[in-house]
Amino acid sequence: MEVPEHIKSLILKWRNQNLSKAEKAELDAWYESPLPEEIYIDAEGREQVKNLLLSNIKSELGHSRKKAVKLFPTWIKIAAAVLLFMGISFLCYQYFEGVNSPVVIHTVQSKAQIRRIILPDSSIVWLKKNSRLSYPETFGTRSREVKLTGEALFEIAHNKHWPFKIRSGNYTTTVLGTSFNLKTGAEDKDFSITVLTGKVEVVRKDQSLGPQKILVAAHHSFHGTAQKAESFNSETNDTKITQLLEGTQYDMSFSKVPFEEIMERFEEKFDVKFEGYTGEYNACLITADLTNLPLEKSLQLLCLSINATYKIDQHKIKLTGGGCF
């Protein structure tokens, strides 16, 4: 299969961002046209094509070594070149078109009550009253970014290779996996963050001094007025923490709590439903701290405590085996 000359020309124009709408439609149609259902190559030719392509790939990766080159029939060289050209062009086209494609943004506004939001990465946000959160339908491969106006409690799914960023006014908060309460306002002095677990990095844009980075560890707070992190690890701040968690399902610490009550808490927090349960675990009293743990990890620990197994089908959970006697 040979790439038509005018298609090669369109690909070059696409690389230079000079495609018209009509030319782009023609290029799309060519990429989407069906390939031949069968291609006949004899055993010797198939092995030669495979070796040639493997050699080209290694060469592109910088792993090829200088060695004797075996001369192939002209038709094999042409076929391999066409396949390589088509493959690279298609991948580049798909990648850059994907990057430039419009991103679907969801915006959630809370009014008189706290709203729970489960993000695409399974992180949970408890959006406080009179606040607004914007986030993409799917996160990018390099980072997860949202925008907050107001106040929210965040429970971020841990992934050290996939940082989570929150943009709010002149501040950008970056986390890897932690829980914290973030409050923003019209001015820098209204910005405050209280870290419950983990660590975050707060960067403030300053037109004269440039970006200023501040690390805030667990049991510390940062306020825009003070411009420094301060510890709140004292009994006098218990009331403050209680106020931050009020109206959320953040606290998942249980001490001799009936299993059915924990199931209800799971359903409220993670937007799931337990199915097929007929009272097998009604004698179970659970003692466990599942605070700030994702659904899968929480289920693993919960099932270990009653010697059961679980299966998740979308938002439905089926427990089997185990029990308390």
SS3 221: strand
Q: Provide the residue type at 184 as one letter.
A: T
- Residue found by looking up tokens 């409690």 in the block: 153
- Residue found by looking up tokens 């075996």 in the block: 70
**DSSP-derived secondary structure letter, 89:** H
**DSSP-derived secondary structure letter, 103:** P
Q: Where are the domains of the chain?
A: 5-100, 105-245, 253-320
List Cα–Cα distances, 193 to 4, 103, 199, 283, in angstroms: 59, 28, 11, 41
What is the model's pLDDT at position 273? 95
Q: If you compute the radius of gyration of the chain from its CA atoms, what whole number of angstroms results?
A: 28
CA distance 15 to 11: 6
Do 106 and 137 touch, CB atoms closer than 8 A? yes
CA distance 295 to 307: 18
309-313 and 316-320 beta bridge pairing = antiparallel
**DSSP-derived secondary structure letter, 234:** S
CA distance 10 to 2: 15
Do 88 and 115 touch, CB atoms closer than 8 A? no
Q: Do 105-245 and 253-320 share a fold? A: no
Q: Cβ neighbours of residue 182 under 8 Å, at least 6 residues apart?
A: 148, 151, 152, 153, 154, 166, 168, 173, 192, 193
Q: What is the DSSP string of 16-73?
A: TT---HHHHHHHHHHHHSPPPS-----HHHHHHHHHHHHHHHHHHTT-----PPPP--
Fold of the domain built from segment(s) 253-320 = Phage tail protein beta-alpha-beta fold (3.55.50)
List Cα–Cα distances, 143 to 11, 132, 193, 220, 266, in angstroms: 30, 21, 21, 25, 28
CA distance 161 to 214: 20
Q: How many residues does the chain have?
A: 325
Residue stretches of the chain with pLDDT short of 50: 1, 35-40, 64-72, 75, 97-98
Residue 238, token pair as written in the block? 């218990």
The CATH architecture of the domain made up of 105-245 is Sandwich (2.60)
Q: Provide the residue type at 70 as one letter.
A: K
| Buried b or exposed e, range 3-27, using 16+ CB within 10 angstroms | eeeebeebbeebeeeebeeeeeeeb
**Angle (deg, nearest 10), helices 74-100 and 43-60:** 50
CA distance 139 to 144: 5
